[in-house]
């Protein structure tokens, strides 16, 4: 786990999420059994942390070892990440457009009179995703924005134009000045108008993080990568509710980290684990003194390819 952590702290783009995790033990000072499983995914590592708290202290302690002068966290709008960014000059937050899209759809479902408006914004966000995808098709990561090709620049400008349409519209709708509103907006009921204003104000409040992807094409428009990384543990939790002891909960977080990282590198976890446990057995039941050969980024291409193959079955070995 220390090897995973040290590697991750050298990177600059992270995808974060968290979910509840039940630990069915009584802990002094802890009320209830609800703990939280946090995930931080980078290019090389998927790292899980189990903690009784959902406060900013947890990611704060994790990112205390950062080695880059500036990093980006792709997150939802949870307040702990916002507090973390306020306390750190190193961390920038990229917020999730999928959550914004959900705000508009929820408003349309809640108020029939907002349905047409909500669907129009849904369409806008869909176009934004499409334009960004076109831009990324021509993005050359080793070059700066100004050094990109003409076709990239063309799609880059289209992304900016779409955002430039969205922002003043949201600003107008977030305003309480009726003189700025069109006839359709003035006809809305008070409760629907309040909901509309709330959605637009939230969009504006998070605008800086929502547009961070423009000058940083490596940043996705949503935090689906983090949500996908934590989906397996969430599915498990829904089936067996959590952990029956603290040691098993910590072990689960450790194995989630190891196995998810191996999969990230296209390494077969069973094949890797067989090799690792064999090394332990050959070392009198103790972990190998040097774990370097088992870290994916320390392997050469041939070694990673070897570990990517499924293990041979006993049937095949004896035939």
Tens digit of each residue's pLDDT (9 = 90 or more) over 222-254: 999 999 999 999 999 999 889 999 999 999 999
- Does residue 120 sit in the same domain as residue 180? yes
Q: Provide the pLDDT confidence category of residue 309 given band limits of 50, 70 and 90.
A: confident
SS3 (DSSP) at 244: coil
- The answer to whether the beta carbons of residues 13 and 43 sit under 8 Å apart is yes
On average, the pLDDT of the chain sits at: 95
Question: pLDDT at residue 312 above 90?
Answer: no
Residues 120, 104: Cα–Cα separation, whole Å: 9
> What pLDDT does residue 115 have?
98
pLDDT in tens, 190-199: 999 999 999 9
For residue 121 the two structure tokens come to 């914004």
**Which whole number is the average pLDDT over 116-134?**
98
CA gap 269, 262 in Å, rounded: 6
**Residues 26 and 165 both lie in one domain:** no
Q: At residue 318, does pLDDT exceed 80? A: no
Q: What is the CATH number of the domain that holds 20?
A: 3.30.420
* More confident of the two residues 26 and 111: 111
118 and 72, same structural domain? Answer: no
In this structure, is residue 216 part of a structural domain?
A: no
Q: What is the pLDDT of residue 313?
A: 58
Same domain? 125 vs 192:
yes
Instruction: Look at residue 172 and tell me if it is in a domain.
Output: yes
Report the DSSP beta bridge partners of residue 52. Answer: none
| pLDDT beyond 80 at 310 | no
**For the chain, what percent of residues have pLDDT higher than 90?**
93
Write down the pTM of the prediction. 0.93
C-beta contacts of 309-315 below 8 A and 24+ residues apart = 309/268, 309/271, 310/268, 310/270, 310/271, 311/268, 311/270, 311/271, 311/274
Is residue 200 located within the same domain as residue 296? no
How long is the chain?
319
User: Is the pLDDT at 315 greater than 50, yes or no?
Assistant: no
- Number of domains within the chain: 3
Residues of the chain above pLDDT 70, percent: 97
Strands (E), 2-114: 13-23, 34-41, 46-51, 71-74, 91-94
pLDDT digits (tens, 9 = 90+) for 131-156: 999 999 999 999 999 999 999 999 99
Q: Domain range holding 108?
A: 97-211
Q: What is the pLDDT of residue 180?
A: 93
Res 311: pLDDT: 60
Question: What pLDDT digit, counting tens, does each position of 254-264 carry?
Answer: 999 999 999 99
């Amino acid at each position: 786990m220390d090897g995973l952590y040290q590697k991750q702290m050298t990177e600059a783009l992270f995808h974060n999420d968290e979910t509840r995790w039940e630990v069915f033990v009584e802990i002094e000072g802890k009320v209830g059994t609800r703990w939280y499983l946090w995930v931080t995914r980078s290019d090389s590592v998927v790292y899980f942390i189990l903690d009784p708290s959902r406060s900013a202290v947890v990611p704060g302690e994790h990112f205390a070892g950062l080695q880059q002068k500036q990093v980006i966290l792709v997150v939802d709008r949870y307040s702990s990440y916002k507090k973390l960014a306020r306390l750190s000059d190193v961390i920038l937050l990229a917020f999730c457009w999928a959550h914004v899209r959900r705000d508009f759809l929820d408003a349309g479902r809640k108020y029939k009179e907002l349905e047409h408006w909500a669907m129009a914004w849904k369409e806008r966000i869909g176009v934004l995703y499409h334009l960004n995808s076109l831009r990324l098709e021509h993005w050359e990561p080793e070059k700066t924005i100004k050094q990109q090709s003409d076709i990239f620049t063309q799609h880059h400008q289209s992304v900016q134009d779409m955002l430039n349409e969205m922002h003043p519209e949201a600003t107008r709708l977030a305003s309480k000045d009726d003189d700025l509103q069109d006839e359709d907006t003035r006809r809305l009921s008070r409760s629907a108008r309040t909901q509309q204003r709330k959605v637009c104000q939230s969009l504006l409040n998070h605008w800086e993080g929502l547009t961070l992807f423009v000058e940083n094409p490596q940043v996705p428009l949503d935090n689906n990568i983090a949500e996908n990384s934590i989906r397996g543990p969430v599915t498990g939790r829904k089936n067996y509710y959590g952990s029956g002891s603290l040691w098993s909960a910590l072990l689960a977080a450790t194995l989630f980290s190891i196995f998810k990282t191996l999969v990230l590198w296209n390494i077969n976890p069973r094949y890797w684990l067989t090799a690792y446990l064999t090394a332990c057995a050959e070392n009198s039941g103790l972990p190998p003194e040097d774990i370097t050969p088992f870290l994916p980024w320390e392997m050469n291409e041939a070694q990673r390819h070897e570990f990517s193959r499924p293990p041979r079955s006993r049937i095949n070995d004896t035939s």
